[in-house]
Amino acid sequence: MMGPSLLARHKSFTSLVFPFTSDFVLENLGRMGLTLFLFVIGVKMDLGLLKRSGKKHLYIALASVFGPLLIVSIVAVLTRESMDEELARVSSIGEIALSLSVTTFPVHYTILEELNLLCSEVGNMALSIALISDAIGINFMVVFEAMKQGDGSAQSIIWYSISCVVMAAFTPVIRRAMVWIIEQTQEGEAVDQFYVIAILLGSFVAAFVTDMFGLGIANGSFWLGLMMPDGRPLGSTLVQKSETIITEVFMPCSFVFMGLYTDFYAMKEAGWSALRPLFGLVISGYLSKFFCTMLAAKVVGVSWRDSLAISLILSLRGYVELVLYVHWVDRNVIGLPGYSLMILGTIVVVGILTPLISILYDPSKPYMLKQRRTIQHTAQGDHLRILVCIRGKTNLPSLVNLLQLFHPTVHNPFSLHAFYLVELIGPANPVFVEHQNQELEDLSGRFPDLEIIHHALKQYQERREECVELHLFSAATIKPTMYQDVCKLALISKAVFIILPLEKKLDGEMETTEQWGGESGSIVTQILDNAPCSVGLLVEKAERWQLPQIASYNFIVLFLGGPDSREALAFSDRMSGNPCVSLTVVRFLASNAEGDDEMQRKLDDGVVTSFWVKNEANERVNYREVVIRNGADTASAIVGMAAEKYYHMWIVGRKQGINPSLLEGLSTWSDHKEDMGILGDYLSFSESVNSDSVLVVQKQVLTGKGPNFFTPPGSIVSFMRRGRLFW
C-alpha cells in the first residue's frame, strides 16, 4: 500500500514518509534482517534429517523438483524468442525455473508452524521433502550463480568455484570453535553473552565475505547457521536471543523495502507482450509443481487426500522467495514489472492455498475413534495401557505415587508408557524417540531431566517387573502441536487412559500456562478435545504429594452421573483391590429427578450396582448416596465430607453430571472450568477441601471414523516398529 502502486504515487507522501535517504536505511536494515533470518534458519535446520528420510520422501522430492524444472525449461525454450535479452540468458532462465521448482525449507517450516501442522503426519512428510528439495536447490543455485558471474567466462566460473571450496574448508574450524564454546559453559547455565554477540556479529561477517567472493549475501549467514550445534545450550540460546529483534524490527523493514519495489503500474506500462513470457514460466511452474508432487505422492502410496494436502503445502511461497526476487532485480535478471508480477503471483497463491490447506487437512481427525478405549471397557486380566505425560522432574512424585496405588498384579497387569515432553526452541525439526539405555547420555542435552525421570520410573517398574511393562518416550516439539504427539502416541500404543499432571503455584494459580500452555490455546484443552481414549487431570494440591507411611490411604469418588463419572468409578475400582487403599464412593442424586437424563441414569444404575456387588464384602470400600437440591447443597456436602475425614485424593468426573441442578450456582466460583470442569475446579482451589491431590476424569469421546491417515516411513508408527529415532 505504501509503495508506488498506491500511496507512494503521491510525491507529498513520498517526501514526508520516505525521503531520499530512507531508501538506504530501509535497504540495509532489510539486508540485516535477511542475514539474521537465514542464520537462525540455518541453526534450526538439521541436515541429519536427509539421512533419516525414507525413500518415499526422496522420490516425491525428486519428482517435485525435476518435473517442474523440466516443464518450465521447455516453456522457456518455446517462448525464448519473445523474452528480453537479460531474461533470455540461460543462467536467468535456470534461476527462475529452479526457484519455481524448489521447495525452501525455511518457508515451509514457518508455514507448518503457523498452521499447527508441524508434528502432523502430512507436516512431517512435507518438512522432509522440503529439506531434500532445498538441498538439491542449493547445489543448483551455486551452479547458476557461477554462470552469472562476470560475462560467464570460464575464468569467472573457476574463481567462483574456488571461493565455494575455500568457504567449505572453514566449516570444521568453525564447528570446532562452537564445540569449544559449549565446553566452556557449565551444565544448566546459559552461554556467555559475549559468545552469543560474537556469533551473531559473525553472521554479518560471513555474509560480507560470501558477497565479496560473489557467492551472495544470503549464503554466508545461512552456512554459518548450519555449522552451529543445535539444541541446548548454544543453538537454543542463539534462537532465543535473536528471534524477537528479527521478527519485530528487521523483518518489517524487509517487507517495507520489498513493498517499495513493487509497482503494479509498471506492469501496465510494460504491457502484456513484455510480461507474457515470464507469466508463462510462473503459471507453468506453479501448476507443474502442484501436479507433479500430487502424482508422485499418490504413486508411492499416499492417499489422495494427503497427496493433495502435501502438494498444496509444497506449492506455497514465502519470505525467501521474496528476497530472491529482489536479488534478481539487483542482478538484472528481471525488471520492476517482472518483479511486481512475481510478487503478485506469490500473494495470490498464498492467499488461496493457505485456507484450502486448513480446510482440507485437520490433524486431529485421525485421533478420534469409534472403538472404545476406556478403563471401564478394559476387561479384568487384560493389559491396562496407561500413558503418563511428563513435562519435568517436578511431575514425578505425584505420578509415581499414583502408580504405586494402582495395584497392578500378575492377573491385572498394565503397560506404562511414559512420555517426556520438552518445548522445541533451538533445532527446527521435531524429535520423537523411544529410549534405550545406551541413548540416555547422548540425548541428555536435548532432554535435561531425562536420566532422573528414567531412573525413577525404572525403579518403580523393577519392583513390579512381573506385572508392569515400561516404555519411555521423549519428544521435543513446539507447544501448539504437543497435543498431536500425545494423541498420536496414545493412538499407537492403544492406551486407554492418559494422565496429565497439573501443579498449583504458590499463589494458587494452576501451572497450565507455563507447562501446558500454547499460542493456540491450552494443550490440556486440545488433548481433552482430541484424545483417542480417556484422560485424567492429576492436580497436585500439596507442595509435593508424598505418600505418608500409614496403613491406609483414603480416596473418595464423587459420582454425579454420566460417562465421566462412570469412568472415574472404573478408575477407582482398579485401586479398590489394593489392601492399603480405603475407598469411599458418594453418589449425588437430585431431589428433583425430573431434570435427570433417563438414559444416562439407567447406565449409572447398572455401573453402580455392579461396583457395589463386587465390593460388598470389602470392608475398605464404602458407598453412600446424598440427595441435594442445588450447587450450594453440593458444596456444603463436600465441605462436610472434607471435615469428617482427610482424603488423600478426590476423584471426580469432568462433566457436570446427569442433572444440571447438581452444580447450579457453582460455575460462578470456577476460573478453570473449561479444562477442569466445575466440580474439579472447585475441589482443586477450595480452601475448605484439604487433600494431597485431585483427579479429574474425562471418558473417551467417541466421534470420527477411526484412524485413516497415511503413515510414511519416517512417522511415529514406523519408528516404533523399527525402534529408532524419529525426526
Write out the DSSP string of 85-150. Answer: TTTTSHHHHHHHHHHHHPPPHHHHHHHHHHTT-TTSHHHHHHHHHHHHHHHHHHHHHHHHHHHHST
Distance CA 10, CA 14 (A): 6
Per-residue pLDDT, 2? 60
Distance CA 113, CA 477 (A): 10
Q: How large a percentage of the chain has pLDDT more than 90?
A: 10
Distance CA 35, CA 204 (A): 7
Contact 453, 393 (CB under 8 A): yes
Same domain membership, residue 280 and residue 162: yes
Q: Specify whether the backbone of 502 is left (phi greater than 0), alpha (psi in -120 to 50) or beta.
A: beta
- Which range, of 126-130, 152-156, 274-278, averages the lowest pLDDT? 152-156
Same domain membership, residue 646 and residue 581: yes
Whether 2 is in a domain gets the answer: no
Q: How many domains does the chain have?
A: 3
Task: Please identify, among 324, 344, 360, the residue that sits at the C-terminal boundary of a domain.
Answer: 360
Record the cell numbers describing residue 658, joined without a space: 446427569
Which H/E stretch holds residue 396?
helix 396-405
The yes-or-no verdict on residue 439 having pLDDT over 60 is: no
Same domain membership, residue 181 and residue 153: yes
The yes-or-no verdict on residue 465 having pLDDT over 80 is: no
Per-residue pLDDT, 696? 93
Per-residue pLDDT, 706? 39
The yes-or-no verdict on residue 598 having pLDDT over 90 is: no
Tens digit of pLDDT for each residue in 243-288? Answer: 778 878 887 777 777 777 777 777 777 788 888 888 898 899 999 9
The yes-or-no verdict on residue 5 having pLDDT over 70 is: no
718 confidence band (pLDDT: 50, 70, 90)? very low
Whether 401 is in a domain gets the answer: yes
Tens digit of pLDDT for each residue in 367-383? Answer: 666 778 888 888 877 88
Per-residue pLDDT, 386? 92
At 415, is the secondary structure helix, strand, or coil? Answer: strand
Contact 131, 49 (CB under 8 A): yes
Whether 444 is in a domain gets the answer: yes
Distance CA 567, CA 367 (A): 20
Per-residue pLDDT, 48? 65
Distance CA 578, CA 613 (A): 18
Same domain membership, residue 478 and residue 373: yes
426 confidence band (pLDDT: 50, 70, 90)? low
Same domain membership, residue 432 and residue 504: yes
- Positive or negative torsion for Cα 670, 671, 674, 677: negative
Contact 274, 341 (CB under 8 A): no
Segment 132-151 mean pLDDT: 67
Tens digit of pLDDT for each residue in 649-662? Answer: 899 999 878 888 88
At 632, is the secondary structure helix, strand, or coil? Answer: helix
Per-residue pLDDT, 725? 30
Which H/E stretch holds residue 670?
none
Q: Which residues contact 341 (CB under 8 A, 6 or more apart)?
A: 267, 275, 278, 279, 282
Long-range contacts of 572-577 (CB under 8 A, 24+ apart): 572/651, 573/611, 573/614, 573/615, 574/375, 574/384, 574/406, 574/407, 574/412, 575/405, 575/406, 575/407, 576/615, 576/618, 576/620, 576/621, 577/407, 577/409, 577/412
Same domain membership, residue 523 and residue 464: yes
Segment 6-11 mean pLDDT: 60
CATH code assigned at 551: 3.40.50.620
Distance CA 176, CA 499 (A): 43
CA-based diameter of the chain, in Å? 96
Is this model's pTM higher than 0.85 or not? no
Same domain membership, residue 671 and residue 719: no
Segment 123-148 mean pLDDT: 74
Is there a cis peptide before residue 355, judged by omega within 30 degrees of 0? no
Same domain membership, residue 118 and residue 258: yes
CATH code assigned at 113: 1.20.1530.10
Query: Quick one: DSSP state of residue 379?
Result: P
At 558, is the secondary structure helix, strand, or coil? Answer: strand
Distance CA 590, CA 630 (A): 8
At 539, is the secondary structure helix, strand, or coil? Answer: strand
Contact 308, 710 (CB under 8 A): no
Segment 127-145 mean pLDDT: 75
| End-to-end Cα separation, the chain, in angstroms | 41
Task: Please identify, among 328, 360, 392, the residue that sits at the C-terminal boundary of a domain.
Answer: 360
Tens digit of pLDDT for each residue in 479-502? Answer: 877 888 898 889 888 899 999 988
Whether 219 is in a domain gets the answer: yes
Same domain membership, residue 285 and residue 159: yes
Higher pLDDT, 576 or 365: 576
Nearest Cα neighbor of 313 from 155, 452, 129 is 129
The yes-or-no verdict on residue 195 having pLDDT over 70 is: yes
Which domain, by its residues, includes 612?
538-699
Segment 153-164 mean pLDDT: 67
Same domain membership, residue 502 and residue 414: yes
3-state secondary structure 157-169: HHHHHHHHHHHHH
Segment 92-109 mean pLDDT: 81
Segment 617-628 mean pLDDT: 89
11 confidence band (pLDDT: 50, 70, 90)? low
Nearest Cα neighbor of 438 from 724, 34, 43 is 724
Same domain membership, residue 569 and residue 552: yes
Number of CB atoms found within 10 A of residue 173's CB = 9
Higher pLDDT, 79 or 333: 79
Nearest Cα neighbor of 365 from 309, 406, 418 is 309
Task: Please identify, among 360, 387, 412, the residue that sits at the C-terminal boundary of a domain.
Answer: 360
Segment 120-146 mean pLDDT: 76
Whether 1 is in a domain gets the answer: no
Between the alpha carbon of residue 533 and those of residues 374, 480, 488, 572, the distances in Å are: 6, 20, 11, 17
Contact 575, 407 (CB under 8 A): yes
Per-residue pLDDT, 296? 92
Whether 472 is in a domain gets the answer: yes
Sheet holding 468-477, edge to edge: 431-434, 468-477, 414-423, 384-390, 497-503, 534-540, 693-698, 649-653, 553-559, 581-590, 621-628
Segment 503-516 mean pLDDT: 51
Same domain membership, residue 407 and residue 303: no
Nearest Cα neighbor of 329 from 317, 339, 341, 314 is 339
Mean pLDDT of the chain: 78
Per-residue pLDDT, 288? 92
Query: Helix crossing, 105-114 with 121-148: angle to 10°?
Result: 150
Tens digit of pLDDT for each residue in 278-327? Answer: 889 889 999 999 999 999 999 988 888 888 988 998 888 887 788 778 87
329 confidence band (pLDDT: 50, 70, 90)? confident
Whether 515 is in a domain gets the answer: yes
Distance CA 602, CA 571 (A): 20
The yes-or-no verdict on residue 701 having pLDDT over 90 is: no
The yes-or-no verdict on residue 59 having pLDDT over 70 is: yes
Distance CA 583, CA 642 (A): 14
